[in-house]
């Protein structure tokens, strides 16, 4: 059976982190495409844009940093959960912040997962391969047919 391509929206302002994340996701076993925006306002604009065949598809999963310019990742998450057309969208926070206040607030806002970026490349690569496999192979989204 052919595996569907999972669509990720990466919300990351750090170019080095974004390149590493994109590279690790694309090289994982699960076929995926990654669209990237650099701040929280751009993320919401991307998610709320009108459907158009010339635009990238609506993502299956949002990978969201906490510390972003213009609007924090937690504010983006709050806006996503408040929007009836987006609230079902899985959101994974991937951040350097391991602060209790950030983790607690993220789970209050119903984040699907909170992941702290590992310091070592091999661990980072393995983490992202697991994220891709979980969301692309194992998890079932609403309205999705059997894989």
Here the CATH number for the domain that contains residue 19 is 3.40.50.2300
Confidence of residue 147 (pLDDT cuts 50, 70, 90): low
Domain membership of residue 119 as a residue range: 6-137
What is the pLDDT at residue 50? Answer: 81
Instruction: Say yes or no to pLDDT of 75 above 70.
Output: yes
The answer to whether position 147 is within a domain reads no
Which residues are 64's β-sheet partners? 11, 93
The answer to whether position 124 is within a domain reads yes
The answer to whether position 108 is within a domain reads yes
The answer to whether position 145 is within a domain reads no
What is the pLDDT at residue 1? Answer: 46
What is the number of domains present in the chain?
Answer: 1
The answer to whether position 142 is within a domain reads no
DSSP character at residue 13: -
The 3-state DSSP class for residue 68 equals coil
What is the pLDDT at residue 102? Answer: 97
What is the pLDDT at residue 58? Answer: 83
Is the separation of the CB atoms in 62 and 34 below 8 Å? Answer: no
The answer to whether position 146 is within a domain reads no
Confidence of residue 141 (pLDDT cuts 50, 70, 90): confident
Does the predicted TM-score (pTM) go above 0.85? yes
- Give 35's contacts (C-beta < 8 A, 6+ positions apart): 7, 8, 9, 10, 46, 56, 59
């Amino acid at each position: 059976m052919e595996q569907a391509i999972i669509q990720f929206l990466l919300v990351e302002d750090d170019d080095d982190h974004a390149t590493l994340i994109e590279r690790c996701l694309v090289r994982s076993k699960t076929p995926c495409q990654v669209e990237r925006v650099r701040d929280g306002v751009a993320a919401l604009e991307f998610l709320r844009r009108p459907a158009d065949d010339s635009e990238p598809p609506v993502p299956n999963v949002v990978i969201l940093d906490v510390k972003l310019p213009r609007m924090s990742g937690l504010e983006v998450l709050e806006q996503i959960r408040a929007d009836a057309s987006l609230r079902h969208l899985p959101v994974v926070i991937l951040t350097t912040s391991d602060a209790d206040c950030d983790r607690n607030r993220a789970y209050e806002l119903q984040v699907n997962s909170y992941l702290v970026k590992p310091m070592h490349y091999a661990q980072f690569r393995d983490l992202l391969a697991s994220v891709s496999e979980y969301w692309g192979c194992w998890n079932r989204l609403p309205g999705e047919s059997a894989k």
